[in-house]
Amino acid sequence: MKSSSAASMSSSEPFIISRPPPEGGRFAAGMIIASRYRLDHYLARGGMAEVWAARHEGLRSDVAIKFVDESLARDALTAPYALERFRFEAQISAKISARTRHVVAVHDAGENEGVPYLVMELVNGHTLEDEVERHGALPMARLAEVLDQVADALSAAHELGIVHRDIKPSNVMLVDEPSGELVVKVADFGVAKSLRSDLALDRPRETAVGELVGSPAFMSPEQIIGDMAVDARSDLWSLGVVTYEAVTGASCFEGANVPQLMMSIGRGIYRPASQVKADLPRGIDAFFARALAARADERFASAREFASAFRALIEPAPRRPRGLLIGVIATLVVVACVGLFALRRSPPAKAPAPAPSGALIIAPPNDTPPVIEPPPSAAPTSNVAPTARVTTTSRVKPTASAAPPLPVVTPAITTAIASTPPPKVDPPRPKKRIDPSEIQ
């Protein structure tokens, strides 16, 4: 629905909508509908309806009234179906609008001289289609805000088991409030489908298998083939096409006629967005590859996931909170201080007692402490040679099974070493081990 507000070339103001009512129509400005709504001016015409701005005479409030196309209302075959559709749209719109403000709310429904009508919220804004046609591709940040709110509307519908089946730019309303806030509303649940039977709705008769429902350029592959198992993921595919056209300013799927267009959709033939508009962020092509996947199970799982993935293209990954980093550093400092305090409090290791003068240090060829042979109390005389010769040979590598027993030094050798004044030599190094079996 479009407004006839003041003229402006800026996207922050509603656009001029100046369309004459259809010639020969049965509605005109000033007419009273249902004894309480006065028609003011003609707004737009859709596939099966026309919309007028009106005023509730009792409440003094502005509304929009959507009338079924007169040709449908007068046809004996289509009139019952059109009435069922209008009643169903009013019921589901009321349920969804109770959950979110991002759908066009329906206030009333009825018939006027045999023509069904809906009384809806009057949105003083413009459509996404109008904005792209007038200004070209949307800035990424603005489009991210649009998608966040469309996702909120679709999530509310999908949670109720309602599939819109006609998501397209002309059904996305944009309102730039004087405060600077952008408000987005999804309109026209006229061909919606209910997947649940517990909502107390007057469900209209289903379309026949193979019958097309929706707008061809925005219909998912499963809609094209008339699949009765269409679910919420079909709306997400259509939202992918809407996003592509809003971000590039160009059509997504193309064809010289409807059959060629449907063939392009079925085969997934479209130009990568990065080739249409070179300044798009990295990852945009991967985003659309998932959004427009031919298989429903390869698409985004929900409308909120769709919107979050798009926003992630333009926003950097969240930085780690500064408080968390400070906490980690403080913890490390405390641990270091505790360790240092414990190290200072621990008793120092006792140094080994020095060996008595003249003692012979014998170290076995393993890691056991060296054995110190004390010097004898008296040095008996002996004819043994005054020196002991140590021969350096290859050391036998000890086995890992058990440490060998300590060797016994003969008294003769001990007496000989003790009775002779020790030569002035450098003290043995602590780590050097002498195998007793090598002493000759």
1-124, CATH topology level: Phosphorylase Kinase; domain 1 (3.30.200)
Q: Over 60: is that where the pLDDT of 210 sits? A: no
Average pLDDT over residues 7-12: 32
Average pLDDT over residues 204-233: 76
CA atoms within 13 A on the CB side of 291: 28
Residues 268-293: pLDDT tens digits? 999 999 999 999 999 999 999 999 99
Share of the chain above pLDDT 90, in %: 43
Judge contact between 160 and 38, C-beta under 8 A: no
Taking the C-alpha atoms of residue 185 and residue 105, their distance in angstroms, rounded to an integer, is 9
User: Helix, strand or coil for residue 345?
Assistant: helix
Judge contact between 239 and 306, C-beta under 8 A: yes
CATH number of 125-197+214-318: 1.10.510.10
pLDDT at position 411:
47
Residues 242-255: pLDDT tens digits? 999 999 999 999 99
Most trustworthy range by pLDDT among 104-108, 257-261, 289-293, 327-331: 289-293
The pLDDT confidence band at residue 208, using thresholds 50, 70 and 90, is very low
pLDDT at position 393:
44
Count Cβ atoms within 10 A of the Cβ of residue 248 and give its class: 0-12 exposed, 13-18 middle, 19 or more buried: buried
The pLDDT confidence band at residue 47, using thresholds 50, 70 and 90, is low
Most trustworthy range by pLDDT among 16-25, 184-193, 350-359: 184-193
pLDDT at position 149:
98
Most trustworthy range by pLDDT among 202-211, 251-260, 299-308: 299-308
Average pLDDT over residues 239-266: 94
Residue bearing the bigger pLDDT, 197 or 355: 197
Judge contact between 66 and 39, C-beta under 8 A: no
Residues 119-160: pLDDT tens digits? 999 998 999 999 999 999 999 999 999 999 999 999 999 999
Of residues 390, 404, 399, the one with CA closest to residue 438: 390
pLDDT at position 190:
85
Residue bearing the bigger pLDDT, 46 or 101: 101
CA atoms within 13 A on the CB side of 304: 6
pLDDT at position 295:
93
Range(s) for CATH 1.10.510.10 in the chain? Answer: 125-197+214-318
Range(s) for CATH 3.30.200.20 in the chain? Answer: 1-124
Q: Over 60: is that where the pLDDT of 402 sits? A: no
DSSP 252: S
pLDDT at position 250:
95
Residue bearing the bigger pLDDT, 63 or 383: 63
Q: Over 90: is that where the pLDDT of 219 sits? A: yes
Residue bearing the bigger pLDDT, 218 or 190: 218
Q: Over 70: is that where the pLDDT of 431 sits? A: no
In the predicted model, what is the mean pLDDT of the chain?
Answer: 76
Strands 162-163 and 193-194, sheet pairing: antiparallel
Average pLDDT over residues 258-263: 92
Residue bearing the bigger pLDDT, 430 or 54: 54
Taking the C-alpha atoms of residue 55 and residue 41, their distance in angstroms, rounded to an integer, is 10
pLDDT at position 140:
96
Taking the C-alpha atoms of residue 160 and residue 75, their distance in angstroms, rounded to an integer, is 32
pLDDT at position 413:
42
Q: Over 80: is that where the pLDDT of 361 sits? A: no
pLDDT at position 3:
38
Residue from 130, 148, 152, 166 carrying the catalytic annotation = 166
Taking the C-alpha atoms of residue 127 and residue 140, their distance in angstroms, rounded to an integer, is 17
Average pLDDT over residues 8-26: 46
Q: Where are the alpha helices (DSSP H) in 232-370?
A: 232-248, 258-267, 273-276, 284-291, 303-314, 322-345
Judge contact between 265 and 237, C-beta under 8 A: no
Q: Over 60: is that where the pLDDT of 403 sits? A: no
Residues 362-381: pLDDT tens digits? 455 555 555 555 555 544 44
Q: Over 50: is that where the pLDDT of 224 sits? A: yes
Taking the C-alpha atoms of residue 60 and residue 146, their distance in angstroms, rounded to an integer, is 31
Assess whether 166 carries a catalytic annotation. Answer: yes
pLDDT at position 311:
96
Residues 173-190: pLDDT tens digits? 999 998 989 999 999 998
Judge contact between 287 and 132, C-beta under 8 A: no
